[in-house]
Amino acid sequence: LSAQTFDAQLTGVITDPSGGAVAGTKITATNKATGVITTATSDDTGLYRFLRLAPGQYSVNAVATGFKSFEQSNVVLQVNDVV
């Protein structure tokens, strides 16, 4: 018997223009309705994960030393989404 969850997940990989992984990138996901900011850091393969985000609309920002910051607005997560 498994418990129901009402969260969503957001996962991605940070790469440079040549396709190489960018480790240590700070990623923030800001819930536009609540203002709650959740942070993650990419690992050695560039992978980052937000495992338990509340459903809603998010703005996601990535910042890495030596690179231009990137922002993706209007990321919509529904209950049980794995994006």
- Write the pLDDT tens digit of every residue in 17-71: 999 999 999 999 999 999 999 999 999 999 999 999 999 999 999 999 999 999 9
Give the CA angle between residues 81, 5, 41 to the nearest 5°: 60
Q: Which residue has the tokens 């418990």?
A: 3
Distance set, CA 23 to CA 49, 55, 69 (Å): 13, 27, 14
pTM of the model: 0.88
Across-strand partners of 15? 21
* Cα 56 to Cα 1, 20, 36, 45, distances in angstroms: 27, 31, 11, 28
